[in-house]
Amino acid sequence: MTHHTVYYTLIALIVEAWSHAVQEKYGVPLNEWAPDWDELVGMSHNIVKTYIADPVFKPSHQASTDNADMVSDTMYCNG
């Protein structure tokens, strides 16, 4: 049961990320967006940069004191 909850929550979050990105860039709802392949790939890269932690990210228990809030830094510098 918990596995399904996490799975469906993740799907909803991914769709929400796409919806926000498409609305912001193209000004249309996700269900009305008709991209070509290059737009789809470009948007995918943009979403990864915006919503996925940078490879240098370390959880706070592993981070040094000079970058202790990398989650916040990653979220706000990419947006």
**How many domains is the chain built from?**
1
Instruction: Please tell me the distance from the alpha carbon of residue 63 to that of residue 3, in angstroms, as a whole number.
Output: 29
What is the model's pLDDT at position 79?
46
What is the model's pLDDT at position 77?
54
The domain of 38 spans 2-78
- Dig out the tokens for 47 from the structure: 């979403």
What is the model's pLDDT at position 54?
76
Residue with tokens 């991914």: 14
Q: What does the H/E/C string look like for 41-74? A: HHHHHHHHHHHCCCCCCCCCCCCCHHHCCHHHHH
Tens of pLDDT, residue by residue over 25-57, are 999 999 999 999 999 999 999 998 888 877 777
What is the model's pLDDT at position 2?
77
Instruction: Please tell me the distance from the alpha carbon of residue 75 to that of residue 14, in angstroms, as a whole number.
Output: 16
